[in-house]
């Protein structure tokens, strides 16, 4: 039992925060997108595109920050396909997202062969952001919370700032109010002269940028290389975190920590070999946690009233 209880320490909490970061970033984007009325299950595909172009940018320039920027831009640009399909062409949101996921995995495989001459995994990134751990003076010395929250890598800190920023934007600014109105009462928003289409395009684009950043984290901070399919369902877990967190950034962050904890725990169980059972059992921990969280909380969460509903000005005004 000593080995079992030895798992629960500060290192586990540090791993929890780091493993939850890509889920948190994608979930923040999903919150913005869904509050505008657009269902986005394409985050898995957007993340994989962000991860690939972040790795390409870092390898070609030797600068991980340029790679980070390329991953974010790639996520934003790719997400616009979902925006065009659902907002302008009025396609079913779930169908569009599913197609985008398939397209993203096919494109990254094609680009792997095109850029690197082989599928699978890219070369290792010489200078990944994961090596740039930064301790905030004084705060990093706080017992337990110090190393968990204030001795982290760059994108982890960026995720903390994004939680605060988007919570403020959604609650305290006109843009946030208009985005929320687009998902709750789109006709009322259109009536006062604000374009529902523009608000939804903006929300989907922001979601793409955030999901692209989540993908960049995986390839240039968490792993220092790109591997096909490396998202491993994190985009769908982020959607579960969005629902479990009640469609708000802070709630999504807390839910993401729960999934990160499940992931960190299964890694620690495997490394320390506390239980003599196949490692495949541990690998499913985060996915079981997703099912439990959604099953337990989805009934208590109320989505935006117009989430997933098409909006056509001509029909609504009749």
- The total of other beta-carbon atoms located within 10 Å of residue 52's CB is 28
pLDDT for residue 275: 58
pTM of the model: 0.91
* Cβ-Cβ contacts under 8 Å for 309 (sequence gap 6 or more): 37
Say which residue the tokens 């708000």 belong to. Answer: 248
- Each residue's pLDDT expressed in tens, for the chain with a length of 318 residues: 444 455 667 888 888 999 999 999 999 999 999 999 999 999 999 999 999 999 999 999 989 999 999 999 999 999 999 999 999 999 999 999 999 999 999 999 999 999 888 888 888 888 767 677 888 888 888 888 888 999 998 899 999 999 999 999 999 999 999 999 999 999 999 999 999 999 999 999 999 999 999 999 999 988 888 999 899 889 999 998 998 888 999 999 998 998 888 888 887 777 666 556 666 666 776 777 777 766 665 556 678 888 888 887 655 444
Report the C-alpha gap between 54 and 255 in whole angstroms: 26
> Do residues 203 and 38 touch, judged by C-beta distance below 8 A?
yes
Characterise 30 by phi-psi region: left (phi > 0), alpha (psi -120 to 50), beta (else).
alpha
What per-residue confidence (pLDDT) applies to 222?
80
Where do the domains of the chain lie, and which CATH numbers do they carry?
A: 2-125+145-301 (1.10.3470)
Task: List the one residue out of 60, 59, 63, 22 whose CA is nearest residue 43.
Answer: 22
- Residue 225: DSSP 8-state: S
7: burial class by Cβ within 10 Å (0-12, 13-18, 19+)?
A: middle
Question: What per-residue confidence (pLDDT) applies to 28?
Answer: 96
Inter-axis angle of helices 249-272 and 285-297, nearest 10:
150
> What residues contact residue 154 under an 8 Å CB cut-off, 6+ apart?
129, 132, 134, 221
pLDDT at 292: 73
Print burial letters for 207-243: b (CB count within 10 Å at least 16), e (below 16): bbbbbbbbbbbbbbbbbbbbbbebbbebbbbbbbbbb
pLDDT for the residue numbered 295: 67
pLDDT at 313: 66
Q: Is there a contact between 34 and 240 (Cβ–Cβ < 8 Å)?
A: no
């Amino acid at each position: 039992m000593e080995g079992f209880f030895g798992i629960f320490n500060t290192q586990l909490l540090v791993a929890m925060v780091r493993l939850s970061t890509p889920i948190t970033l994608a979930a923040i984007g999903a919150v913005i997108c869904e509050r505008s009325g657009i269902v986005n299950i394409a985050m898995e595909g957007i993340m994989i595109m962000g991860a690939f172009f972040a790795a390409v940018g870092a390898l070609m320039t030797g600068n991980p920050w340029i790679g980070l920027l390329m991953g974010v831009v790639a996520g934003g640009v790719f997400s616009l396909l979902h925006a065009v399909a659902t907002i302008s062409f009025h396609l079913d949101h779930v169908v569009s997202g599913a197609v985008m996921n398939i397209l993203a995995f096919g494109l990254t495989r094609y680009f792997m062969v095109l850029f690197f001459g082989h599928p699978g995994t890219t070369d290792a990134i010489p200078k990944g952001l994961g090596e740039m751990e930064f301790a905030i003076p004084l705060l990093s010395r706080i017992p337990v919370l110090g190393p968990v929250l204030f001795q982290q890598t760059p994108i982890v800190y960026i995720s903390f700032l994004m939680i605060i920023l988007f919570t403020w934007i959604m609650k305290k600014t006109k843009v946030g109010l208009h985005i929320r109105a687009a998902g709750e009462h789109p006709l009322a928003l259109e009536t006062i002269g604000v374009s529902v289409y523009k608000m939804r395009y903006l929300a989907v684009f922001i979601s793409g940028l955030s999901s692209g950043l989540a993908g960049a984290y995986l390839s240039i901070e968490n792993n220092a290389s790109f591997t096909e399919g490396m998202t491993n369902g994190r985009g769908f877990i982020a959607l579960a975190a969005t629902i479990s967190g009640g469609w708000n950034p802070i709630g999504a962050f807390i839910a993401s920590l729960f999934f990160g904890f499940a992931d960190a725990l299964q890694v620690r169980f495997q490394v320390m070999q506390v239980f003599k059972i196949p490692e495949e059992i541990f690998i499913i921990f985060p996915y079981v946690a997703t099912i439990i969280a959604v099953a337990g909380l989805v009934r208590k969460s109320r989505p935006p009233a117009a989430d997933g509903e098409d909006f056509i000005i001509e029909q609504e005004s009749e």
